[in-house]
Amino acid sequence: MRVVVCLKQTVDPLIPVTSLVVDRDRKRIATTSKVPPVLNGYDEQALEAALRLKDTATGGCEVIALSAAAEFDLDVMRSALAVGTDDLVLVQDPALETWDAHSVARVLAAAIRHLEGVDLVLCGRQASDWDNAQVPLMLAEMMPGVACLTLARKVEALGRRVRVERVLSDGIQIMEADLPAVVTVTSELGTLRYPRLKDKLQAARRRPRYLTLQELGIDPVTPPAVELLDLELVATQRACELVTGSDGAEAGRRLAGVLRGARLI
């Protein structure tokens, strides 16, 4: 069985909003400090789903991590190798920085065809930066005859079929589809396993496999279907009021008065 996991490198969603700025020239969110990017959290869960399939496979299972971007932080991307991924394939081109979800899905679909023999494609349900949840669905549409199962909390391989447990608002739905298929994974599946130190050191020495847009038959000057016109951060205001007193009891009474005045208690 050959499984491809689509990964995206994103700005760390846990950094404070005050550390984010808008890069007007590139129309992208940047950070004021040198905070490294991270793997999209949902994609990490998709990777964990693939590794669980590998753990339980009786006939062998190859897991390939695939990503497309203008540039990569290799330490971040190699973390996929450290947890047990067999290969890391990166499609890198400056044009990808301004491409929309449809264009990125087209690149990923072409890369999957280039890899050949792919049985299952796993993606996170959405990316933590834009939260669009568009690429996996578009990717499936660009792969004729391929089913798309979304919001999976569990993924099992049953011969030439895949079974998933889907998360619904009022329960769980169990579905099956023939392979090849595209499955999006949600957070209920669980977090990605931690790598061993030995595996991290070995991953640091491994080289990813690079593909170009030309190799995939894609024209890098093709304009995206959607153009981002402007980007703004939500304006925030912060105010700090220091409540003091001669002792703790008095400071507590004053604090209670402030909270009552603000109708918070």
What's the rounded Cα separation, in Å, for the pair 42 and 194?
16
H-assigned helices in the chain: 41-56, 74-82, 101-115, 135-141, 197-204, 248-261
pLDDT value of residue 111: 98
pLDDT value of residue 21: 81
33 alpha-carbon distance from chain centroid: 22
pLDDT at residue 147 is higher than 90: yes
CATH fold for the domain made of 2-211:
Rossmann fold (3.40.50)
pLDDT value of residue 22: 81
DSSP H/E element including 100: none
pLDDT at residue 30 is higher than 90: no
* CA distances in angstroms from 16 to 13, 43, 126, 235, listed in the order given: 8, 22, 21, 14
Residue 239: pLDDT band (50, 70, 90) is confident
pLDDT at residue 237 is higher than 90: no
Residue indicated by tokens 């990569």: 72
- Residue 220 or 237, more confident: 220
Region for 27 from its dihedrals, namely left if φ exceeds 0, alpha if ψ lies in -120 to 50, beta otherwise: left
pLDDT at residue 14 is higher than 80: yes
What is the average pLDDT across 146-164?
A: 95
Which residues, other chains included, contact 216 with Cβ-Cβ below 8 Å and sequence gap of 6+? 91, 107, 110, 111, 114
46-55, 121-130, 170-179, 218-227: range with lowest mean pLDDT:
218-227
Q: Could you tell me the two tokens for 19?
A: 């550390």
Predicted TM-score (pTM) of this structure: 0.84
Confirm if 88 and 208 have CB atoms less than 8 A apart.
Answer: yes
- List the chain domain ranges: 2-211, 237-265
- Cβ neighbour number for residue 96 with a 10 Å cutoff: 18
Confirm if 107 and 130 have CB atoms less than 8 A apart.
Answer: no
pLDDT > 90 in the chain, percent: 69
Average pLDDT, the chain: 92
pLDDT tens, position by position, 111-140: 999 999 999 999 999 998 888 899 999 999
Residue 241: pLDDT band (50, 70, 90) is confident
